[in-house]
Amino acid sequence: MATINQYFSIGSCSAARWLSEDAFVYLSTKSGVNQIWEKNLCTGEERQRTFFEERVWSLHTHQGTVYFSMDQGGNEQEQIYVIHGEEAVNLTHNNAARYQFGGVKPDGQTVVFACNARNPKNFDLCQLNAKTGEQEILLENTDSYNTPAALSPNGRYLLYNKLKAQSDNCLWILDTENKTAKNIDSNPGYAQYTSPAWKHDSSGFYFLTDKDSEFKYLAYYDVESGCMTKIYEEEWDLEDVALSFDDKYLAVKINRDGYSVMEIYNTHTQSFENAPSMPKGVMAYYGISWAPSSHRLLVTLSSGKRPSDIWMLDLDHEKVERMTFTDLQGIDSDDLVEPILCHYQSFDGLTVPYWLYKGKGDAGKGSVAVEIHGGPEAQERPMFAPMIQYLVNEGLTVVAPNVRGSTGYGKNYHHLDDVEKRLDSVHDAACLAEHLVKEGLAEKDRIAVMGGSYGGYMTLSCITRYPDLWAAGVDTVGMSNLETFLENTADYRRSHRESEYGSLEHHRQILHDVSPIHKVDQITAALMVVHGANDPRVPVGEAEQIVQSLRSRNVPVEYLLYTDEGHGIAKRKNQLDCYPKVAAFLKKHLKVE
């Protein structure tokens, strides 16, 4: 039988970007942490381009040059780098600030970005000369979290989001020559504006928005007139778009019930093409890239039993090809499981979806791990997860729900857990545990709950609010106290997190009442807590509070702290230390032989 180390040694390939018509670069964890690799399409040769011990955060290309960002120890203080030959050069050199890449102007030297060097709470829009290092602030920001979205091909206009909330992010346009900015929507309301894709003459761009709609749809903005036009919508979220080199084809990625579907919109005929289909799975948000001068499209694709790899859709030759081949480390693909989409009724009649990974054999029959996603503005989807696949192979059943507050099911569902309704999502998880027993999928005393980030908060909330339902919990980088979480999270993150959880100024009592730390005396389940010491999102104090509170009461709790990690366990050496312990903990308390 395969070991857990084999599962966690399975790598991933993602975020492909064309370097030329004959080559592309991508991120791979072959070395144990995300690094840049290059593939030559003529020879098939693959070679590693960066050799750092820290993860590469993001990857970009411009006119054959590779740019990337990288942090240190998970602190998310990204710096911008450029690769010259075989050397990676740090362009920003300021580990006290975070830099977010925005694009490169046509001169090939001027890099546009956002950073919070002037004030940790706010991100200014800036540019630098890659040769001289000279930096210039294009627009000072005093009231929001600005993130670059897309630089126009002529280099004049920078689109950026003013992130008021995770799902309320007005799209603004900065004229980098006149240094003036305006909202593209004079009456934006509460809405998302994402995935802008410029036409190559810089006259306008396609984008996605859910303004006045339950779901995100495709729209177009004309720069000269300032007019927005709706182009296409359906009863699911459109989640990403990309435009081909000649503006003819628009790749539109759609989230239909958790699976990704790629549709190709012909802008000349204003209709969708009958294009070859990608394999069933989930395409990563950051993974669409058109070739510089052909109709070939690279995407990142994963499924429950298929690790993340790069695939290519070639419209001109009407074919789909797999471009990278992640090694399964000796594990038989037949031992991997694709989940089944199921539903249950929660306490108020709400229908809640969940993914069911059915255990194999009898060793863990009746033992169930409920894995709750982070966010909370996120969605559990059928993607490869080594821990899930290992547990299933050991005989456990894993259930991954999308409790209220999850994205992908419309704006109304998304906001059913805001502020004072926070504990309704915890009630959803409790109803799921009862449903699993009723359906014969779980035995009452053999159900665990686990999750990372907000999923960690949900784990702690479940075992404090509904202690009789859970035999064990695993909290990874979760919040135990929403008051201290908001007080101590990175300055620039606070305001848009308050829109989801409630503000320290106006909702402190609610934040207090829904925080697990104040009900630790209710915990009867075995608990494991995992955290990174450098976490800027959920500071390590959130883990230490819950651990110290339990230990002061002589309640056993297992605590794994990683000094070189941030918000999650990203380095394989740490994963191979952490996750075997997590798996052993779950198997012990769920009575799996």
pLDDT at 497: 79
Whether the pLDDT of residue 164 is over 90: the answer is no
HEC string for 351-381: EEEEEEECCCCCCCCCCEEEEECCCCCCCCC
Residues 344 and 431 sit within 8 Å (Cβ to Cβ): yes
For the chain, what is the mean pLDDT? 93
Q: Given a cut of 90, is residue 478 above it in pLDDT?
A: yes
pTM of the predicted structure, to 2 decimals: 0.93
In this predicted structure, the answer to whether residue 344 has a pLDDT above a threshold of 90 is yes
Is the predicted pLDDT of residue 75 greater than 70, yes or no? yes
What integer is the mean pLDDT of 514-526? 93
Q: What is the mean pLDDT of residues 204-230?
A: 96
Q: Between vectors from CA 48 to CA 46 and to CA 49, what angle results, nearest 5°?
A: 120
Looking at residue 166, its pLDDT comes to 67
Indicate the range of 205-209, 389-393, 503-507 predicted with least confidence: 503-507
Sign of the dihedral through C-alpha 547, 552, 556, 561: positive
Could you tell me the pLDDT band of residue 473, with boundaries at 50, 70 and 90?
A: very high
Tokens of 209: 């928005």
pLDDT above 70 (res 363): no
Residue 359 has pLDDT above 80, yes or no: no
Provide mean pLDDT across the span 576-593. 93
pLDDT of residue 479: 92
- Give the angle subtended at the CA of 434 by the CAs of 428 and 440, to the nearest 5°: 135
> pLDDT tens digit string along 373-418?
998 889 999 999 999 999 999 889 999 999 999 999 999 999 998 8
Q: To the nearest whole percent, how much of the chain has pLDDT over 70?
A: 99
How far is the CA of 12 from the CAs of 46, 263, 285, 309, 331, in angstroms?
15, 25, 15, 6, 15
Q: Where do runs of H (alpha helix) occur along 292-421? A: 386-393, 411-414
How far is residue 221 from each of residues 159, 167, 230, 340, measured CA to CA in Å?
12, 20, 9, 39
pLDDT in tens, 96-109: 999 999 999 999 99
Calculate mean pLDDT across residues 474-493: 88
Please work out, in degrees rounded to the nearest 5, the angle formed at the alpha carbon of residue 440 by the alpha carbons of 437 and 445.
Answer: 40
Mean pLDDT for 547-558 is 91
Measured CA to CA, the distance from residue 204 to residue 160 in angstroms comes to: 15
Question: Can you tell me the mean pLDDT for 489-515?
Answer: 81
Which residue in this structure is represented by tokens 């110290």? 548
Local confidence band at 279 (pLDDT 50, 70, 90 cut-offs): very high
What pLDDT does 500 receive?
A: 75
Q: Note the pLDDT tens digit of each residue in 22-59.
A: 999 999 999 999 999 999 999 999 999 999 999 999 99
Both tokens assigned to 320: 């789909």
* pLDDT of res. 189: 81
* Token pair for 526: 């075995």
Cα–Cα distance for residue pair 29/180, rounded to 1 Å? 41
Query: Mean pLDDT, to the nearest integer, of 491-496?
Result: 73
Q: Which residue ranges form the domains of the chain, and what is each CATH number?
A: 337-589 (3.40.50.1820)
